[in-house]
Every structure is written in C-alpha cells, then in structure tokens.
C-alpha cells in the first residue's frame, strides 16, 4: 500500500438525498478520472487536461454503460485538502447509484479509503498539524454552535500557536543544557541557571493554563448528563419540557406517571447536555414503578450534575434511600418548583443560593437555572473569556506529562542536580509537548486518532 495510491470514498452521509459526493485523492487521481468519466460534448477535454478548480459535466461510465450524470471538480496539488491531486464526483444521492459510481472509480484503479485517510494525508503532507486534524472530526460532530466555533478555532491553529512557541522555548532550554553536557569543564553560571529555571517554570505555568481548559473541551465534545430527581409531582417532567422547549414528557397531576427514564439533549450555554427525567422517588409496592425508581437511582449515579426538585407548595417529602453518589457541592443543584403558588413555610428560611426557585408554568427562574447548570459543569475550568482553546483528552495527557517532567527538571535545577538528569526530563517534556501537534508521533498514535474519523474524511 503506497501512501500516494489514489484513494476513494463517499464523502456525504449514507441514505437518500438529492446529491452525493465521492472524493478521490492521490498522485494519479486526475488521470484516473479519464478512464471512468466521459465529458459532455465531443470537444470537451478529459479531466487530465483541465485546469485546477474547475467543474465539468458528464457521465460516469462502467463496463460500457452510463451509470449516472455527474459533475466532476478538478483540484490540482498543492491547492487541495490533502496536497495531492484530487477530484470530487457529484452524483445523484441514493444508496444504489452512489455505490455504483464508487464501484466504477474503484474498478478504474483507486482503492477504498480507510477511515480518516484523507485527513491523515493532509497531516502527513504538512497541510495541517495533528490538532487541526482532530479539529476536522470535532467540527463534523459538533452538536452546538459553541462546539463548532471551538472546532473552527482549533482548525485555524489557535492551539498550535500556543503549543509551537512553548515547544520551541523548551528546545532552547534543552539545547543550552546539552551544550554544557558537551563541555563539562565549563560550569553553568548561577545567573544562567536562574534564567533557565524561570523559562522552565513559565512553561509549566502555561501547561497548567491549558489544562484548565480540559473540562470545557470535554463538555464541548462529549456533552454532559444531568439527572432530574425528586418526589412525585415535583415537576421533573415539566422542567424537562421547559428546558427542551417542547412537550417531550407526559405531565399529569397523577403521582407515578413517569415509570422509566426519558433522555433528551438541550443546548445549555453552548454545551450539549443530556437531561434525564426519572421516576418520582417514593416507597412503592407497584412492581413497574419500583423498577422505574431503581432506574432513577442508576441515572443519578451516572450523572455529571444532579437537579434535585422539590415542590415549594407542599411540605418537604422524606428522603428516599439509598443516597446518591457523592458529587462536588456545585454539581448538586436544589431546585424549588411551583414558585408561582403559595410557598410552604418550611422553605422560607432557605437562602436563594441554596434553593433555586422556578416556575415551570410561568418560566420564572428558568434563565437563572440554565446559567447555574452551565456554571456547575464548568466548575474549575478556565473561563471562556480567558481561554481561546479547549484541549481534548489526548492533549490533556500530553500536557500533564510535559508539566510533570518540567516540574522535575525545575526541582533538579534548584537542588543543583546532575545536568544529565535535568536534560533527561527536558527531553521527556519536549517529546510530550510535541505529541500534541504531531512533531513527535508513532504509527499507533496516528492509527488511534484517525480510526475515529468517517470514511469520507
């Protein structure tokens, strides 16, 4: 398998549609099109004679018959996504015709692309770095505008522009230490050691700042789960409907209406949050309701944030054991519903910060609740205003290893340890930080990243 072989894949989602696009990339991709594409009009040139970034009408031919009427777009290297010659075939959508067009292209000499192979070639050919390659997948899978904006920022190189100078600075520190290793008779002057230590500590602080964006990155990419729990008729289903802006759950004054968990996703401050409506918590002899209550506890244990509802117009209900799994205080929000009704005296003395008062009927307090949910999910993260990037789990692991190595190197400098030990930790730091942008890579790492991509990317 040659890294320049022409590869082909359907680049649009499967299913029936007006159009589908099949992408072909490789050193001979444009010449390959001559064998399966017949331009309209007898004087029209074949793709191999066409200028770059031009579109041509014609038919895909296979085994002597017309498969489909198509548009072929020619892109010549290096002004392409992969920096290879590329063509895109726009055909009619639909499973059968799209598969037949792809089969014609494969029969002409292309091979089927592996998941993420187009983006992998863009990385290997130097068009994008590894963070930008990952941003392509993030952009495709973004579920909110904020997630798409973050992916676009990373695709534009925002993270790279912070990582590259950091790595370059560490390379200079390492070079300085290794120079003294090569000339052991010349000691490092105290003022030089102080300057090197300052740069190491500054780099460690930069890693810490980037690591604080990890919770936001996790939320943007994977979302969060929020469980709505409480006694029957507290308004859990009403709150779910209010947060979604649609009637998803059945609302009834009859206690025990919800017998199973209901899950739906809502946009909370730009983050996708899966809200789980659960059965009301109470002692029940009904077998089906009891199973629903058991599932309520399971949903609560799996949640990233717990929304504990009470009915402000009724006396507090007794707590139902077992107690939910421990969460940070900021991740357990107590919510008092039905604030539009006369409030039971038991709730009067509870501070507003400890009991968020809302009314699902009038909408009172819902904007404030949305903000509290957003704040609880971002607890401990860098603020959106100060963070221009949001690192993913792979970046987080590399940054932690970088920071740990830098901290060891800094401690060794302060203690006057051997330069060999200092250089070893600096090399570890440079290697780990280089993994983020792809300047330190292995085939296993690339396989792991690009295997998550769809075939057409």
Q: Pick the last residue of a domain from 52, 85, 113.
A: 113
pLDDT at 255: 47
| 225 and 369 housed in the same domain | yes
pLDDT in tens, the chain (457 residues): 566 799 999 999 888 889 999 999 999 999 999 999 999 988 899 999 999 999 999 999 998 899 999 999 999 999 999 999 999 999 999 889 999 999 999 999 999 999 999 999 999 999 999 999 989 888 888 888 888 888 899 998 899 999 999 999 999 999 888 887 776 655 555 557 788 899 999 999 999 999 988 888 888 888 888 888 888 778 888 888 888 886 654 444 544 444 456 788 888 888 888 888 876 555 554 555 555 555 666 667 777 888 888 889 888 876 544 445 566 667 888 899 999 999 988 888 888 888 899 998 899 999 999 999 888 888 755 554 444 577 888 999 999 999 999 999 999 999 888 888 999 999 999 999 999 998 876 677 677 777 777 767 7
Cα dihedral 39, 45, 48, 50, rounded to 10, equals -100
Answer yes or no: do 225 and 366 share one domain.
yes
Same domain, 74 and 165: no
Angle, alpha carbons 363-365-370 (nearest 5°): 100
Please report whether residue 2 resides in a domain. no
Please check whether residue 142 is in contact with residue 222, taking contact to mean a CB–CB distance below 8 angstroms. Answer: no
Pick the last residue of a domain from 347, 377, 407. 377
Query: By residue range, what is the domain housing residue 94?
Result: 7-113
pTM for the whole thing? 0.75
For residue 213, the 8-state DSSP code is T
Q: Do 177 and 47 fall within a single domain?
A: no
351 within domain boundaries? yes
Spell out a b/e string for 383-420, using b for 16 or more CB atoms within 10 Å of the CB, else e. ebeebebbbbebbbebbebbbbbbbbbbebbeeeeebe
DSSP characters for 348-397? TTS-TTTSEE--TTT-TTHHHHHHHHHHHHTTTSPPTTT-S----HHHHH
Claim to verify: residue 91 and residue 142 sit in the same structural domain: no
CATH number at residue 208: 1.20.120.430
Of 377, 397, 429, which residue sits at a domain end?
377
Contact in structure between 180 and 419 (CB atoms under 8 Å): yes
| DSSP bridge pairs for 68 | 60
Q: How far apart are CA 427 and CA 418, in angstroms?
A: 15
Here the CATH number for the domain that contains residue 278 is 3.40.50.300
Helix (H) or strand (E) holding 209: helix 190-211
57 and 101 together in one domain: yes
Within a domain: 41: yes
Residue 382 maps to a domain:
no
Pair 155, 300 in one domain: no
Q: Please check whether residues 358 and 401 belong to one and the same domain.
A: no
Please give the Cα distance from 152 to 136 (Å, whole number): 8
Do the strands 224-229 and 271-277 form a parallel or antiparallel pair, or are they unpaired? parallel
CATH code assigned at 35 = 3.30.1360.120
What integer pLDDT is reported at residue 418 of this predicted model?
Answer: 86
Q: Are 25 and 41 in contact (CB under 8 A)?
A: no
- Residue 224 and residue 323 in one domain: yes
Cα(114)–Cα(117) distance, integer angstroms: 5
Same domain, 226 and 93: no
Whether 1 maps to a domain, the answer reads no
Q: How open is the CA angle 447-453-210, to the nearest 5 degrees? A: 80
What is the count of structural domains for the chain?
Answer: 3
Centre a 10 Å sphere on the Cβ of residue 112 and count the other Cβ atoms it contains. 13
| Same domain (yes/no): 255, 363 | yes
Question: Quick one: which of 95, 99, 112 has its CA closest to 24?
Answer: 112
C-beta separation of 282 from 293 below 8 A = yes
Q: Please report the pLDDT score of residue 251 as a whole number.
A: 47
Rg over alpha carbons for the chain, rounded to the nearest Å, is: 29
Residues 31 and 180 occupy one common structural domain = no
Q: Kindly give the pairing relationship between strand 262-268 and strand 305-311.
A: unpaired
- Which pLDDT value is given to residue 22? 96
User: Does 91 map to a domain?
Assistant: yes
């Amino acid at each position: 398998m040659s890294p320049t072989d022409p590869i082909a894949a359907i680049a649009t989602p499967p299913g029936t549609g007006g159009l589908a696009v099949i992408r072909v990339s490789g050193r001979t991709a444009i010449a390959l099109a001559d064998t399966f594409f017949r331009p309209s009009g007898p004087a029209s040139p074949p793709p191999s004679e066409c200028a770059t970034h031009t579109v041509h009408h014609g038919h895909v031919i296979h085994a002597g018959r017309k498969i489909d009427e198509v548009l072929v777009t020619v892109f010549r290297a290096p002004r392409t996504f992969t920096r290879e010659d590329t063509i895109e075939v726009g055909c009619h959508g639909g499973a059968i015709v799209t598969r037949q067009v792809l089969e014609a292209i494969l029969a002409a000499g292309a091979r089927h692309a592996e998941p993420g192979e187009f983006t992998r070639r863009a990385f290997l050919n130097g068009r994008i770095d590894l963070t930008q390659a990952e941003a392509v997948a993030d952009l495709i899978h973004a579920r909110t505008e904020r997630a798409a904006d973050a992916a676009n920022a990373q695709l534009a190189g925002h993270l790279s522009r912070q990582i590259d100078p950091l790595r370059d600075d560490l390379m200079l520190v390492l070079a300085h230490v290794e120079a003294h290793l090569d000339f052991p008779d010349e000691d490092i002057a105290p003022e030089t050691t102080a300057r090197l230590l300052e740069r190491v500590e500054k780099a460690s602080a930069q890693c810490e700042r980037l690591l604080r964006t990890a919770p936001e990155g996790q939320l943007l990419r994977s979302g969060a789960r929020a469980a709505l729990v409480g006694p029957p008729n507290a308004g859990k289903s009403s709150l779910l409907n209010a947060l979604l802006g649609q009637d998803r759950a059945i609302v009834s004054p009859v206690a025990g209406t919800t017998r199973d968990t209901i899950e739906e996703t809502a946009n909370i401050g730009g983050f996708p949050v899966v809200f789980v409506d659960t059965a009301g918590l109470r002692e029940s002899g009904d077998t089906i309701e009891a199973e629903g209550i058991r599932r309520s506890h399971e949903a609560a244990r799996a949640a990233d944030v717990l929304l504990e509802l009470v009915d402000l117009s009724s006396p507090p209900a007794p707590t139902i054991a077992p107690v939910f799994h421990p969460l940070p205080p900021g991740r357990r929000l107590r919510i008092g519903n039905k604030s539009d009704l006369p409030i039971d005296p038991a709730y009067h003395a509870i501070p507003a910060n400890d009991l968020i008062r809302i009314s699902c009927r009038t909408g009172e307090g819902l904007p404030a609740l949305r903000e509290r949910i957003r704040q609880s999910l971002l607890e401990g993260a860098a603020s959106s205003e100060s963070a221009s990037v949001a690192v993913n789990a792979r970046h987080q692991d590399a940054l932690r290893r970088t920071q740990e190595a830098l901290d060891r190197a800094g401690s060794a400098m302060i203690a006057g340890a051997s330069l060999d030990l200092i250089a070893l930790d600096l090399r570890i730091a440079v290697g780990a930080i280089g993994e983020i942008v792809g300047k330190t890579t292995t085939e296993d790492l690339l396989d792991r990243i690009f295997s998550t991509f769809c075939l057409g990317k």
